[in-house]
């Protein structure tokens, strides 16, 4: 009888430890993200433009890309988090002329976010020049829904949002990671965003690995290299530089650097 009680006690302890491990809150660590861009869809949109569709060079470039590349381009990035701060660090975008035709298919921003002060400091590259942009945390109009899914073992809830006045966003966040944040500048939900989709822009971010480790304070620091500007000054500089590039490309570029 004693052996049976001992066995049941051990099983109960193991079960309790398992449940606690599954429900414990992660306070600091790193998250690896894949940014996935449907390049064929972007190319098809471009070809719907009359001027582009009648340009032989653009036609041949589009055909060559589809022939020699997969439909989806995948870019890597890492989000480091702790103490209500995050640092989003993208890997370099491949050198490909076709990709440069679509600003949203590149990765422009290294972003430090401090929820304690509701500020962001971003290193943004534009036209071979580097800027350090200080601004307030992005205000996204979120509506949390009842839909849920599991991502990397974390229970996530869906939220629908609107950014830049008109861009529809679908996000899945978990409150099992006790830091507010997400890839790029996506934030504002009660937990960590592990998946973001912009359906009409044909791109998404998905967490592929979460590492629960203690992050030294010295790791979570804002970028310093670049010309210091405010968010408004940065956008004005870009608009002035893009004034002869055409309305469509200007809108694409501005959207890409503000994500």
Domains along the chain?
25-257 (2.50.20)
Contact by Cβ (8 Å): 224, 87: no
Specify the pLDDT at position 3. Answer: 47
Q: What are phi and psi of 206, to 5 degrees?
A: -140, 130
Q: Residue 70 and residue 79: Cα distance in Å, rounded? A: 26
Specify the pLDDT at position 50. Answer: 55
Tokens 């055909």 -> residue: 63
Q: What is the pLDDT along the chain (259 residues), one digit of tens a residue?
A: 444 434 433 333 333 333 333 445 899 999 999 999 999 999 988 877 656 656 677 788 888 889 999 999 999 999 999 999 999 999 988 777 667 778 888 888 999 999 999 999 999 988 788 999 999 998 899 999 999 999 999 999 999 999 988 899 999 999 999 999 999 999 999 999 999 999 999 999 999 999 999 999 888 999 999 999 999 999 998 888 888 777 777 888 888 888 8
Q: ∠21-27-30 over CA atoms, to 5°?
A: 95
pTM of the model: 0.86
Count of C-beta atoms within a 10 Å radius of residue 22: 11
- Give CA torsion, residues 96, 99, 103, 104, to 10 deg: -130
Tokens 């002060």 -> residue: 117
When computed from its CA atoms, the radius of gyration of the chain, rounded to whole angstroms, is 22
Neighbouring residues of 5: CB distance < 8 A, sequence distance ≥ 6: none
Count of C-beta atoms within a 10 Å radius of residue 206: 18
Specify the pLDDT at position 95. Answer: 76
Count of C-beta atoms within a 10 Å radius of residue 96: 15
Specify the pLDDT at position 251. Answer: 82
Count of C-beta atoms within a 10 Å radius of residue 130: 13
Specify the pLDDT at position 114. Answer: 96
Specify the pLDDT at position 9. Answer: 38
Specify the pLDDT at position 54. Answer: 62
Contact by Cβ (8 Å): 258, 164: yes
Contact by Cβ (8 Å): 126, 245: no
């Amino acid at each position: 009888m004693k052996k049976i009680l001992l066995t049941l006690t051990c099983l109960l302890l193991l079960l309790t430890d398992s449940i606690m491990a599954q429900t414990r809150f992660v306070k600091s660590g790193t998250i690896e993200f894949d940014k996935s861009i449907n390049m064929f869809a972007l190319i098809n949109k471009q070809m719907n433009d009359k001027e582009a569709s009648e340009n032989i060079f653009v036609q041949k470039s589009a055909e060559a890309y589809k022939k020699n590349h997969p439909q989806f381009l995948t870019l890597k990035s890492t989000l480091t988090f702790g103490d209500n701060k995050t640092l989003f660090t993208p890997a370099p975008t491949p050198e490909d002329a076709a990709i440069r035709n679509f600003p949203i298919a590149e990765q422009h921003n290294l972003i430090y976010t401090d929820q304690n002060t509701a500020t962001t400091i971003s290193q943004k590259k534009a036209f071979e020049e580097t800027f350090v942009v200080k601004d307030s945390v992005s205000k996204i109009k979120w509506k949390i829904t009842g839909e849920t899914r599991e991502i990397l073992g974390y229970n996530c809830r869906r939220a629908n949002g609107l950014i830049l006045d008109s861009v529809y966003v679908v996000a899945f966040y978990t409150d099992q990671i006790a830091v507010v944040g997400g890839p790029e500048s996506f934030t504002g939900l009660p937990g960590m965003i592990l998946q973001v989709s912009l359906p009409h822009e044909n791109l998404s971010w998905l967490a592929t690995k979460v590492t629960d480790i203690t992050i030294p304070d010295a790791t979570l620091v804002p970028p310093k290299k670049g010309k210091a500007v405010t968010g408004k000054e940065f956008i004005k500089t870009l608009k002035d530089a893009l004034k002869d590039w055409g309305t469509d490309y200007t809108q694409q570029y501005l959207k890409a650097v503000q994500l």
